[in-house]
Amino acid sequence: MALNVGKEIAALKQMEVADLRRKYAEVFGESTTSRHKEFLVRRIAWRLQANAEGGLSERPRRFAQELAADSDVRLTASKKVALPTNGHTKVAAIHLSQDGRLPMPGAVIARQYKGQSVEVRVLPDGFEFEGEVYRTLSAVAKKVTGTHWNGYHFFRLGTKGNGNGKQEE
C-alpha cells in the first residue's frame, strides 16, 4: 500500500512533541534526545519522503562519504579560535576590569562637582584625567577635591549607579 507523504507530513504538524518522539523512534529505529518540535517534524518528514521516493542517488551518496572521510570529526568545540590575519587585521589582547562597577576601557565617567564638570576616561590599566594617568579613581577624586574620597562613591559607581557616573532615580 502506497504511503501518502503529504498527508503524513500534515499529520506530523498536528502531533505533540511526545508523539513526535515516538514516531521518530518508529521511523529511524532509535530514540532521540531532541524536544524541538519543528526539528522532529522536518527529520521525520525527510525520512518518510526518502522511504517513499528513494533516498540519495549513488553519486551524491559517494560524494557525501568522501567529504565525511576527509573531514576532522570533533566531538566538542575547539577552545581556541583562529583569526585570519590578512595584514589588515589587528590582533590585541583585551583585559577587562574585574570590577563590574567600571565601564569598558575607553568610556568616560562624568560628574559635576562644585559647578565643575569632572570627566575621567577609563583606560585598560588606569584612569586619565586632565592629561594625567592615575592608577585609581580614588586618586582622581583626591586630585579634584583635595581630600581623600572612595573613587567609586565620588563618581557614584556603586550598586545604585548605572555605569555612566550618573545616579539612577
Question: What pLDDT, in 10s, does the model give residues 149-164?
Answer: 998 899 988 765 444 4
pLDDT (tens digit, 9 = 90+) per residue, 73-113? Answer: 666 666 666 656 666 666 666 665 567 788 888 889 999 99
**Which pTM was predicted?**
0.39
Q: In the chain, which ranges are continuous DSSP H helix? A: 5-14, 17-28, 37-53, 58-70, 137-145, 151-154
> Does any domain span residue 92?
no
> Does any domain span residue 122?
yes
Domain count of the fold of the chain: 2
CA distances in angstroms from 74 to 19, 32, 61, 81, 165, listed in the order given: 32, 20, 22, 14, 46
CB 143 within 8 A of CB 129: yes
Residues 61 and 10 in one domain: yes
pLDDT at 167: 41
> Does any domain span residue 47?
yes
> Does any domain span residue 88?
no
pLDDT (tens digit, 9 = 90+) per residue, 123-142? Answer: 888 899 999 999 999 999 99
- Cα separation, 42 vs 104, whole angstroms: 44
Residue 112's domain comprises 108-154
pLDDT at 161: 43
Select from 66, 92, 118 the last residue of a domain: 66
**Residues of the chain with pLDDT > 90: what percent?**
41
